[in-house]
Amino acid sequence: MMPSGGAEARLVLLPGLGADHRLFEDQAAEFPGLETPCLVPNEPGESLTTYSHRFAAMLAGDGPLFLGGLSFGGMVAMEAARAPVLDGRVKGVFMISGCRTHRAVTPEFRRRVGALQLVPDTILRASIFALSRSFPRDPDLSPRHRTLLMEMAREFDLGTFRWGAWACATWQGEEPPPDPPVFQIHGRHDDVIPLVEGDPDRVVEDGGHLIQFAQAMVVNAYIREKAAGLGFTFRSRS
């Protein structure tokens, strides 16, 4: 049920690398007006911040807005929320299984990204597809969720994936300002982006990386609660 009372706002969630709107099937069922746009193509050598600000310019419309995303998508959302073009419209950011600051980007991740640039496309896609069949280790993923992961692994653009990994590895993000607030939810057992103690305001104790799938009810309730705390509900699809 959608909460009653409060001003209506748009809710936009961005997917992680190599994924699309299918990551948020369980959120779309809860929030009928949810928008899940595809990430736009990057420019050569573009930084995460520059990319995010360019993406922000594509969020046409007016009225209050909540941005969020999973993993890489959450990082883009956080940077986009600061873009001058949005001019204070963003009332909150939902960071799901993402990096709040560059402190969450581990040296091991940076080493892997360096090696990634040398892997041929055929081997890279085969490796990611194999990973999608068993990833993550979370036993709460349904067969439907695993099927979606494999479908996306077959279809994503490798060039965008390589750039996005590089953009994350070279990101120099600092603690975000208090306005708009960043609401961060993270799984205790995330082995893709390890938990940085003190960063999330909500830790899902039995969660891995894909908590929007495996703990959808927890994530949905968190989104609703934080928006309601600021006096907002989310628009239904017209």
List the chain domain ranges: 7-234
pLDDT digits (tens, 9 = 90+) for 106-142: 888 888 888 877 888 888 888 777 766 666 556 678 8
Considering the segment(s) 7-234 as one domain, its CATH architecture is 3-Layer(aba) Sandwich (3.40)
Question: Whole-angstrom Cα distance, residue 98 to residue 192?
Answer: 9
CA angle (49, 50, 55) in 5-degree steps:
95
> How far apart are the two ends of the chain, measured CA to CA in Å?
17
- Amino acid letter, 105: V
Name 14's Cβ contacts closer than 8 Å, sequence gap at least 6.
36, 37, 39, 67, 68, 69, 70, 73, 74, 76, 77
Residues 71, 192: contact at Cβ < 8 Å? yes
**Quick one: pLDDT at residue 138?**
63
pLDDT digits (tens, 9 = 90+) for 15-66: 998 899 999 999 999 999 999 998 888 998 899 999 999 999 988 778 899 9
Distances (CA, A) of 228 to 6, 218, 222, 225, 233: 7, 15, 10, 5, 6
Q: Is 50 exceeded by the pLDDT of residue 14?
A: yes
